[in-house]
Structure formats: structure tokens, C-alpha cells
Amino acid sequence: METGFRRLSVAVLLCVSAAAALAQDSDDPLGELISPDLERREIREAQIDSENIEITAYLGGVMNVEDFGSNPLYGGALAYHISEDLFMEAAYGKTELGESSFERLSGAAPLLTDEQRQLSYYDLSLAWNLFPGEYFLFDKWALNSSLYLIGGVGNTSFADEEHFTYNIGAGVRVLTTDWLAFRLDVRDRIFEHEIFGEAQNTNNLSTQLGVSIYF
């Protein structure tokens, strides 16, 4: 009798608990076995300014245009620093063409008008900070610096014509502070023109000293 009652009560208990488990199953599979008392880790983003843009003004420069002599160069550049190794740069420059040796020697009428002798260029380049390091000035100063290789494409405009231009070069940047740097840059701009009658590929070298500010 007693065992029968015990069996019944166990069966009832099982049924009830199974029903309860089923009922719980429908809304929360884990029931109260695992309570979600884990605290979520708090992560916040740092409030911090970025200084990846560098604006450069040429303090002085000289550009040689093949057959047309060397003349002062004016201009500037805007760079975006992608990583410590790479930066991209858009540059603009202006110079004027001198007299070509043909014009000087032949004594003929000038090939170009004064307006046509105004040369301007712009280009888009990618540069690689190949040798970062320090320059030492006497005992007192160690200046951060880098030597970079740069190359890109652009457009040179003179003599009422546009000339597609490739540029390659190298430069040195010396930082006096975190935000002020001096740059000495040598560039070869390669383009083709037809001023002397037939298409001629020219290498036009320029050197410029610039001061740049990071912001």
C-alpha cells in the first residue's frame, strides 16, 4: 500500500515537474539554472584629436624645364598621412619658361608668347617613408626625420596645352616639433610636348624647400 502510494506520488511529481519544465521550455530554455548575472564589460572610445594632414608651402624652389632654362618655382602641397610608412599628396606649382636655346641662337621670332610661358602643374602622388630616423645637430638636438620616395601622375599646363605628367622623386623631411617640419624635395616631371614640331619626351627637374604644418 505504502509503496503504491509512494509510486503514485513520484509519478505525479514527475508529471508536474515535466509539465513545469515544458512550460519553462517555451519561454526560457535554460530556466533558472543559469542566471545572467555576468556584468557586461564597459568599453568607451577615447576622446582624442587626429593630426594626419600636412600642408606645405614652398619657401623656395627652382624648376628646370628642358630647353627652356631654370626658373623660380612657387607652390605648395597638401598631404594625408595614411600610416607611418605611407602618405598621399596633392601638389600644385607655378613657374615660367625661359628662352630656349633655339630662340637665342637663331634670332628668330619667339616661339611662345609671355602668357604661353607661364607653366603650372598639379599632381597626385603616393609616397613611402623609407628611412625614418633622427638627425643630430651638435650635442643638443636630435631631430626626427624621414627620407621618402614619391611618385605619381599629374598635369602640366603651358603653351595653351595640357601635358599628362608622371613624377618621381625623393625628399627629406625634418621635424622641428610635432607639428612643424621642413622638407627638401627633388622631383623629376616627365611629359611629352610638341613645341619643336615633333613629339619630344622631356625630363624636367625641380628642387623645392618647403615648410609644413600638421593639423
Partner 1 sequence: MNRLAAKFRRSRQLFCGAMAALLIAASAQAAEPQARPAHVPAGTEQVTVGSPYIDMHTGPGRGYPVFHVAEHGETLWLLKRRTDWVKVTLRRGQTGWVRIIDLNEIYGADGEQVQVRLPDFRDIESRHFHLGFAYGDFDGADSMGVSLGYRFTRNLSAELRATQAVGAFSDSQTYQLAVLHQPFPHWRLSPYFMLGTGLNITAPNATIVATEDRRDTAMLTGVGVKTYLSRRFALRAEVANHYLLTSRENNQEIVEWKLGFDVYL
Chain residues that interact with partner 1, rule: CB under 8 A:
41-52, 80-84, 86, 88, 90, 123-126, 129, 131-134, 142, 144, 146, 152-155, 160-164, 175, 178, 194, 214
The least CB distance from residue 207 to partner 1, in Å, is: 23
10 Å Cβ neighbour count for 154?
20
Residue 165 and residue 157 in contact, taking contact as beta carbons nearer than 8 Å:
no
Nearer to partner 1, 62 or 168 (CB): 168
Report the residue number, 102 or 141, with the smaller CB distance to partner 1: 141
CA distance 194 to 50: 46
Closer Cβ to partner 1, 69 or 193, answer by number: 193
The DSSP annotation for 75-111 comes to: EEEEEEE-SSSEEEEEEEEEEE----HHHHHH----S
For residues 101 and 113, the answer to whether their CB atoms sit within 8 Å is no
Smallest gap, in angstroms, from Cβ of residue 67 to partner 1? 19
Cα–Cα dist 46/60, whole Å: 40
CB of 20 to partner 1, least distance (A): 41
Contact status, residue 53 vs residue 80, Cβ threshold 8 Å: yes
Closer to partner 1 at the Cβ: 25 or 85?
85
CB of 149 to partner 1, least distance (A): 15
Shorter beta-carbon distance to partner 1: residue 3 or 50? 50
- Closest separation between CB of residue 70 and partner 1, Å? 25
